[in-house]
Chain A
Amino acid sequence: MKKGTQLWLEALKEEDVDTIFGYPGGYVLDIFDELYKQNDIRLILPRHEQAAVHAADAYARATGKVGVCVATSGPGATNLVTGIANANYDSVPLVCFTGQVPLDLIGNDAFQEVDFIGITRSVCKYGVMVRDRKDLGRIIKEAFYIARTGKPGPVVVDLPSNIMKEVMKDSYPAEVHIRGYKPNSDVHVGQLKRALKLLRDAERPLFLCGGGINIAHANQAFRQLAEIVNIPVITTVMGKGAIPTNHPLYVGSMGMHGCYAANKAVSECDLLFSIGTRFNDRITGKISEFAKEAKIVHIDIDTAAISRNIKVDVPVVGDAKLAIEKMLTMVKQSEKREWVAQVKKWKEEYPLGVKSGNCVNPQRIIESINNIFDDFIAVTDVGQHQMWTTQFLELDNHKKLLTSGGLGAMGFGFPAAIGAQLAYPEKQVICITGDGGFQMNMAEMATAVAWELPIVVLVFNNSFLGMVRQQQQYFCEKHYYGTCLKERKSCQRIKCHTPEECPPYLPDFLKFAESYNVEAYRVTEEEQIEQTLKIASEKAKQNKAPVLVEFILERYDIVLPIVRHGGTLDNMILEEN
């Protein structure tokens, strides 16, 4: 005879789970007690459930395995929502277990009862409450299967406490059969032929790689394909790293803050061969002008992503890796094209760059990372620092980037770095975060210290919610309202203090670090960057603890180029106003 919690634990072991990110509470007491009795699975206790789910998310992104988190009913569960939506947008396989009041209390407005399946219905891949102890094993099996197959995504399993206590004789099922869920496991060769015919006939073909390539681990195969057909490659933010960024065919990432050459190439190409992207508005700009000259091929695992935002000439439904590997058997080495040189010329004419004042130029920080580290996982938060990272960070098979793309959830960076470091204790994990986003989850410093994680945390401090401030600069006549993180009661609403009177930043990040016994450095000059990064990385390893480096940026640095909301891609703002 087995208790519900025993079967649950058995299920996790069967699913090869070694790490759980969980926060306790009344209705998951039994689950925690079950974990207490074993040693195969470690429990990571964050300081907020949101951090648990972001960490599980990054753990999954880094390893390709399904991430697992646990939260109690009610407020524990609702604290997961942002992280679930985040994982959903970026197609990350997660299983989130939530405690729930016993079945006989459901609907009574019981203490800490929320309809969590209802709340998350539109932000997860699948959600289900277990209503009968005999379904428990099947449901968990299905949850893991649904999370990891097809277009991966988060699955929510709501566990009423009485079900977890109930005993019966059963075991974790070996097989799944879900009649409404048959993920695509093949690609249509006829469609691929049609796509490759367009490719042969095109004069100015262009690859556009989305996150799908990284998720499908199709990077190696894609690189081969690109080299054989010899056409330039651009990526979305999520697709960055699809091909090494120093590869001669790589142009850059495109979209709202993409590079000139990439956006220009999209506007000028006559075939856009896209793989694993959903043509989100941040990359297309004005739809009617997007890739106007081009025929469009779109390979995607998700039928619903095809022809939704832009009309596609040749749709191919299927896994990116499978499709690319099939194509590799169908293509012949092709000549170098004039077009490749043309795109390269654009890239040289309009290189990306940050013009900065006297302080630390953010571009130099990222370039120093490129110089110093050759094996790392970089994790960003959301904002300007994230865009600078996606613009300047070099990626290849040993240099990986994790970032919140689709949802753009501030607060992701630091807990995600924790998840990544737990997955790869030996790798250098670098957390690149803004002063705003870091404050959203900086309580996780305790988790990082507790688990001896040598994360190098780089806080890009411009004392602004910089990305929004930049939008105010361009689109709201420089009305910097609600974006200054130095602002105090004493500040006049519109006019700033003189620099001498400008109040000090809150908090003092060095003192913050000190209170965790974490070494911290403040960098105010460019010459200090490389040296400090080296020291930070060494100290982190030595101390088996995180190290924090605060970079004081020029407050008004901006990310360029900018494509306006709803503007066209070839009409970029390239210079500061």
Chain B
Amino acid sequence: MDIKKRWLAVFVENQVGVLAKISGICSSKLYNIETITVGTTADPTISRMTFSFLSNDATFEQIKKQMNRCVEVIKIIDLTDIPTHMKELMFIKLKINSPVEKEEVISIAKIFRASIIDYDMERLILQSVNSEVGNNDLINLLSKRFHDMEIVRGGVVSIEAMSISNG
């Protein structure tokens, strides 16, 4: 079927319970949320939520309609097919067993434009601000070599683009 990755920016009243309500709409109808991020906007009474779903057209249409029906939802933008800047912040804590391994991490980090933001004798923390796919690739690559990893992913934030035609 037409299952693909979809993105929504949802502007909501910045009130207690709204996140629960919106995520409740998804869970009660069995829509699985892939990622979600929430933050306030320039107007402190409004929060912006960014969702990603893996879904087909029909389900995604329903998700949008159901959210729109919600009194607390002010506006919804479907980011799926419009040019956007999208980034995800990710931290990876790695256990390093030898100087060779350390060198290897440093060179991988370079290629992925990740930075090393902390370390001690056995461990190291990478910070990556990349697309979701880029972060997946980085994890895949590292996991071939390192097994002792702690990964923290922030979920994707995105903003509509102005000067580019595809994100």
Instruction: Tell me if A121 is interfacial: C-beta within 8 Å of chain B.
Output: yes
In the bound complex, CA of A303 to CA of B68 (Å): 9
- Tell me the residues in window 162-183 of chain A with beta carbons closer than 8 Å to chain B beta carbons: 178-181
Can you report 5 A-B residue pairs in the complex whose CB atoms are below 8 A from each other? A121-B20, A146-B71, A180-B74, A304-B69, A308-B62
The answer on a CB contact under 8 Å between B17 and A180 is: no
The answer on a CB contact under 8 Å between B70 and A307 is: no
In the bound complex, CA of A126 to CA of B66 (Å): 13
Instruction: Report B66 CB to chain A, min CB distance, Å.
Output: 6
Contacts of B24 on A, CB cut-off 8 Å?
121-122
The 10 A-B pairs at the shortest CB distance, nearest first, are namely A304-B65, A180-B74, A181-B71, A126-B71, A122-B28, A303-B65, A180-B73, A304-B69, A179-B74, A121-B24
In the bound complex, CA of A238 to CA of B23 (Å): 31
Instruction: Tell me if A530 is interfacial: C-beta within 8 Å of chain B.
Output: no
The answer on a CB contact under 8 Å between B65 and A180 is: no
**CB within 8 Å for A118 and B20 given contacts A304-B65, A304-B69:** yes
Q: 1/0 per residue B47-67: CB within 8 Å of A?
A: 000000000001001100110
In the bound complex, CA of A179 to CA of B70 (Å): 11
Query: In the complex, which residue of chain A has the Cβ closest to the Cβ of B12?
Result: A180
Q: 1/0 per residue B68-93: CB within 8 Å of A?
A: 11111110000000000000000000
The answer on a CB contact under 8 Å between B71 and A121 is: no
Q: A125-B71, A180-B74 are in contact. List 12 more A-B contacts (CB 8 A).
A: A117-B17, A118-B20, A122-B24, A122-B25, A122-B28, A180-B71, A302-B69, A303-B65, A303-B69, A304-B68, A304-B69, A308-B62
Query: In the complex, which residue of chain B has the Cβ closest to the Cβ of A142?
Result: B71
The answer on a CB contact under 8 Å between A121 and B21 is: yes
Number of residues of chain A lying within 8 A (CB) of chain B: 17
Out of A118, A131, A180, A304, which one reaches B72, CB within 8 Å? A180
Contacts of B69 on A, CB cut-off 8 Å?
302-304
In the bound complex, CA of A307 to CA of B25 (Å): 18
In terms of DSSP, what is the predominant structure of the interface of chain B? helix
Out of A118, A180, A307, which one reaches B61, CB within 8 Å? A307
Instruction: Tell me if B132 is interfacial: C-beta within 8 Å of chain A.
Output: no
Instruction: Report B25 CB to chain A, min CB distance, Å.
Output: 8
Contacts of B16 on A, CB cut-off 8 Å?
131
Contacts of B70 on A, CB cut-off 8 Å?
180
The answer on a CB contact under 8 Å between B13 and A180 is: yes
Contacts of B28 on A, CB cut-off 8 Å?
122
Contacts of B66 on A, CB cut-off 8 Å?
304
Contacts of B65 on A, CB cut-off 8 Å?
303-304, 308
Chain B contact residues, CB within 8 Å of chain A: 12-13, 16-17, 20-21, 24-25, 28, 58, 61-62, 65-66, 68-74
Instruction: Report A155 CB to chain B, min CB distance, Å.
Output: 9
Instruction: Report B47 CB to chain A, min CB distance, Å.
Output: 12
Query: In the complex, which residue of chain A has the Cβ closest to the Cβ of B67?
Result: A304
Instruction: Report B61 CB to chain A, min CB distance, Å.
Output: 7
Instruction: Report B74 CB to chain A, min CB distance, Å.
Output: 4
Q: 1/0 per residue A190-225: CB within 8 Å of B?
A: 000000000000000000000000000000000000
Query: In the complex, which residue of chain B has the Cβ closest to the Cβ of A305?
Result: B65
Instruction: Report A242 CB to chain B, min CB distance, Å.
Output: 24
The answer on a CB contact under 8 Å between B71 and A178 is: yes
In the bound complex, CA of A125 to CA of B20 (Å): 15
The interface centre, meaning the residue of B20, B71, B73 with most chain A CB atoms within 10 A of its CB, is: B71
- Tell me the residues in window 106-126 of chain A with beta carbons closer than 8 Å to chain B beta carbons: 117-118, 121-122, 125-126
Q: 1/0 per residue A124-138: CB within 8 Å of B?
A: 011000010000000
Q: 1/0 per residue A284-306: CB within 8 Å of B?
A: 00000000000000000011100
Instruction: Report B48 CB to chain A, min CB distance, Å.
Output: 14
In the bound complex, CA of A304 to CA of B24 (Å): 16
- Tell me the residues in window 209-249 of chain A with beta carbons closer than 8 Å to chain B beta carbons: none
Instruction: Report B57 CB to chain A, min CB distance, Å.
Output: 10
Contacts of A131 on B, CB cut-off 8 Å?
16
In the bound complex, CA of A178 to CA of B70 (Å): 12
Instruction: Report B50 CB to chain A, min CB distance, Å.
Output: 18
Contacts of A126 on B, CB cut-off 8 Å?
71
Instruction: Report B12 CB to chain A, min CB distance, Å.
Output: 7
Contacts of A178 on B, CB cut-off 8 Å?
71
In the bound complex, CA of A315 to CA of B105 (Å): 56
Contacts of B74 on A, CB cut-off 8 Å?
179-180
Instruction: Report B99 CB to chain A, min CB distance, Å.
Output: 52
The interface centre, meaning the residue of A125, A179, A181, A303 with most chain B CB atoms within 10 A of its CB, is: A179
Contacts of A303 on B, CB cut-off 8 Å?
65, 68-69
In the bound complex, CA of A474 to CA of B106 (Å): 70
Instruction: Report A263 CB to chain B, min CB distance, Å.
Output: 26
Contacts of A122 on B, CB cut-off 8 Å?
24-25, 28
In the bound complex, CA of A180 to CA of B74 (Å): 4
In the bound complex, CA of A307 to CA of B65 (Å): 11
Instruction: Report A141 CB to chain B, min CB distance, Å.
Output: 13
Instruction: Report B1 CB to chain A, min CB distance, Å.
Output: 14
Instruction: Report A344 CB to chain B, min CB distance, Å.
Output: 37
Contacts of A117 on B, CB cut-off 8 Å?
17
